Amino acid sequence: MRIAFFDTKEYDIPAFTRLGEEAGIEFKFFETRLGEDTAELARGYDGVCLFVNDVLSAPVAEKLYAAGVRVAALRCAGYNNVDLAACFGKLHVVRVPAYSPYAVAEHTMALLLTSVRRIHKAYNRTREFNFSLSGLTGFDLHGKTVGIVGTGKIGRVFADICRGFGMHVLGFDPYPAEGAGIEYVSEDELLARSDILSLHCPLTEENFHFLNADTLAKCKTGVVILNTSRGALIDAEALVESIKARKVGAACLDVYEEESDLFFRDFSGHIVEDDTLARLISMPNVIVTSHQAFLTGEALENIAETTVKNLTAFAAGAPLENELCYQCGRVEECRKSRRERCF
């Protein structure tokens, strides 16, 4: 089996090469991202392997199908970059639903602690032998209320971590997790009561700009916003305005709405054109990491392992446990629940 691997980073290659060889899968690593202009590179391959900023839109699905590709393996959990309806009947879409919820949840806590204890400021100061404590006053997390939007795998691990710090955990999720020790409340109550708000839901059409000028206005003054989920859950311009108005006390962002042109690349010698991102990065109470919450050795190994398993099952004509289609979750009796392929 031959797979065209798009948006390759050096950290992808070792595990995929090793596990691929063991399974008889040859990966061809392309640095470029998948899109309309690059889909033709996959001609002659059985499948494509994609990451968060590759685009599998309707025209790309058409081109891949015409080029003989029959499977698209996402090496990530989120799939907002895939037009599932357009793929249906042409490409089987498989993903890695979980690889390390700990990696993402722990990064979220790392961001929160860095922000509230001003570690990023202290680190820069002590490197220059500036041992002043002026402006470094933080606050205790113990006794604070954290609101978690989306209490799935990652949200629940983050809830556990927060409880370990003595925080009170509120949740908002259309499918509450019973017995998870989370107090479920309405969206408005979550916004009104949370000292810290953390987003852990997938990006969908319904929750695009979940945090916007209106919802940010409903938050507590001084709220700390954490987003390690997907950038477009937050209207970044509204966030800038809320920080300038001192409504939002701090923001920690591992994802950004317009990240696809910037993240994962080195722009240190360039003038960045995105004024909203530049403004956010210039603010002392904003921390940005470039979609790295998943990046642990354990997660990379699990991602490669599940992706290779998904592709091996596809090649064997077996049921695809991690297949996605546009009907998933929308029809009562889906084919996948009967252990059949989606089409």
Checking 321-325 for CB contacts under 8 A at 24+ apart, the result is 322/94, 322/95, 322/96, 322/97, 323/92, 323/93, 323/94, 324/79, 324/82, 324/84, 324/93, 324/94, 324/95, 325/84, 325/87, 325/88, 325/93
- In angstroms, give the least distance from the CB of 151 to ligand NAI: 6
Binding residue count for ligand NAI, defined by CB under 6 A? 30
Round to whole Å and give the CA distance between 224 and 7.
32
249 binds ligand NAI (CB under 6 A): no
Residues 6+ apart with CB under 8 A from 155: 105, 148, 149, 171, 173, 198, 200, 201
Candidates 34-42, 86-94, 149-157, 239-247: pick the segment binding ligand NAI (CB under 6 A). Answer: 149-157
Round to whole Å and give the CA distance between 101 and 88.
28
Structure tokens at 252: 């920690």
Per-residue contact flags (x/-) with ligand NAI for residues 187 to 226, judged by CB under 6 A: -------------xxx-x-xx-------------------
Catalytic residue among 200, 230, 257, 323: 230
Active site residue 259: yes
Catalytic residue among 33, 156, 257, 259: 259
Cβ count within 10 A of residue 289:
18
Cβ count within 10 A of residue 182:
24
47 binds ligand NAI (CB under 6 A): no
- In angstroms, give the least distance from the CB of 156 to ligand NAI: 8
Structure tokens at 24: 């008889």
Catalytic residue among 92, 257, 291, 323: 291
Per-residue contact flags (x/-) with ligand NAI for residues 58 to 77, judged by CB under 6 A: -------------------x
Among 10, 129, 137, 174, binds ligand NAI (CB under 6 A): 174
Measured CA angle at 200 (ends 206, 34), to 5 deg: 70
- Which CB sits closer to ligand NAI, 38 or 306? 306
- In angstroms, give the least distance from the CB of 208 to ligand NAI: 10
Q: Which residues contact ligand NAI by CB under 6 A?
A: 77-78, 98, 101, 104, 149-155, 172-175, 200-202, 204, 206-207, 228-230, 254-255, 291, 293-294
Catalytic residue positions, numbered = 230, 259, 291
